[in-house]
Amino acid sequence: MPSYKKSSKPKQEEIVEEVPVTGPGWIEKMNEAIDNLSESRTSTREESLDTITKIFAGHHVFSQIESRLEEILGLLKKSLTKNNSVKEARLAAHAISLTFINLDDISEGEGDDLYRRILPSLRTTIKNSEDIEIKTSCLQTLALITYTAASDIDKQLVRDYLFDLIETDGADFNVEELEQPECDELFAEALRAYGILYAASFSTGFVDFDVLWEEVEKVMPVHEMLLESADKDIRIAAGENIGLMFETVNVFLAADDDDEEEEEEDVVKPEYDNMDGLIHTLKELSVDSNRRRAKSDRVEQKSVFRDIVKTVEENIRPIEELKISGRVLTFRGWSKILPLNSFRKCLGQGFQHHLKTNSMMKEIFRYSTGFSSRQAQDSDDSADEEDLNTGGLSNVDKKYVYDENKKSRTKQIRNARIVKEASPAY
């Protein structure tokens, strides 16, 4: 269930509950649990994994595990692939996610190396496991660690891997023995995983509009088809991805009101072929009154799709606000909200602590809390709204970036027009 505030205007902010994150002897307990992962008894390993996931979520543990990273991931990889119990594999996958979330002080090369050691085991488990809990846990882990640690090319490869799962109805993913509700759960999770990796590839850094538009044209028809799914979670996940895709396209296509000059009549914006049909479907879902669906499902769906329609038609981004120790953090747009929800789901009650202390979270979501990455302490530090959204660029830098992006945008739009005019009509 999506946990963001479904509104394009600021509302009463969500208050993130304070969670105790300190206690006597937690480091000793953690190290003992790590040591016990090599025990032969399955129940001992399960208990150890349960302890590890709670500590990794509730504490910022990088400095305590840095010297044991390869050992820890090797042990977690064994627990994932032993096939002794569903619980052990599920907890191992969760612990792998939490390990990577804690790697905020590691170099890019080291993080990529650790990622590549884990990636094959996750992909193999997703494909071959017959248990839906293991498959979905590994999908969540694959998406999060790819989002946080993978190179651009690996993000693309995993995104293609996920889309293949979705497009082929899991043809090569051992789904024959799954019940329909289990298949629906798998595809909804794959859609969510695809969404956060799309955000990773196309909402930060340099983005080639031609590559972005090619991806949109490739995946949009499948997402549009999945809007008709009988499963509510699939409909919502597909709709959120559509909102995300149009949000990223609009970054290139939106013109500055103060700069509407030369040759505007020559600029033809690319448009999805079935735009009218898509908007019609999205609007239908935003007012769904199908009595065969549970009232709570209808309420949730209508709320989400109202925001999706606003993004697609009006380029209005949804907003989520979190209140943490008296500070309000604002997260704007699907490209922030969808990954945020994945981190929230993984961290559970430790979500607030990592928002306050984990520099990786601050770098990804561009906010400042006034809390040290080493120590959770009260502070009245503040960051202005611009700093939250531009990573602290000066006004001169912001203007330069905008001007350069506008030039690139205009050139790419013109190229798209030329290609479209040159394409034969069918």
Distances from the Cα of 262 to the Cα of 265, 266, 374, 400, 410, angstroms: 8, 9, 52, 19, 11
**Which residue did the predictor score with more confidence, 283 or 13?**
283
Given a cut of 50, whether residue 78 has pLDDT beyond it is: yes
Name which of 80-89, 105-114, 217-226, 258-267 the model is least confident about.
Answer: 258-267
Q: What is the pTM of this model?
A: 0.81
pLDDT, position 217: 96
CA nearest to 144, candidates 333, 324, 341, 330: 341
Instruction: Give the domains, in start order, of the chain with CATH numbers.
Output: 104-320 (1.25.10)
pLDDT, position 59: 94
Given a cut of 90, whether residue 54 has pLDDT beyond it is: yes
Name which of 13-27, 156-170, 378-392 the model is least confident about.
Answer: 378-392
pLDDT, position 293: 72
What order do you get walking across the sheet with 14-15 strand by strand?
14-15, 319-324, 327-332
pLDDT, position 371: 52
- What is the pLDDT averaged over residues 258-272? 59
Q: What digits encode the pLDDT tens for the residues 235-263?
A: 999 999 999 999 999 887 764 344 454 45
- What is the pLDDT averaged over residues 370-397? 37
Q: What digits encode the pLDDT tens for the residues 170-220?
A: 999 999 999 999 999 999 999 999 999 999 999 988 889 999 999 999 999
C-alpha span between 203 and 340 (Å, rounded): 14
At residue 350's C-alpha, the angle toward residues 345 and 351, to 5°, is 55
What is the pLDDT of the chain when averaged over all its residues? Answer: 83
Given a cut of 50, whether residue 231 has pLDDT beyond it is: yes
C-alpha span between 11 and 59 (Å, rounded): 30
Q: What digits encode the pLDDT tens for the residues 290-307?
A: 767 777 778 889 999 999
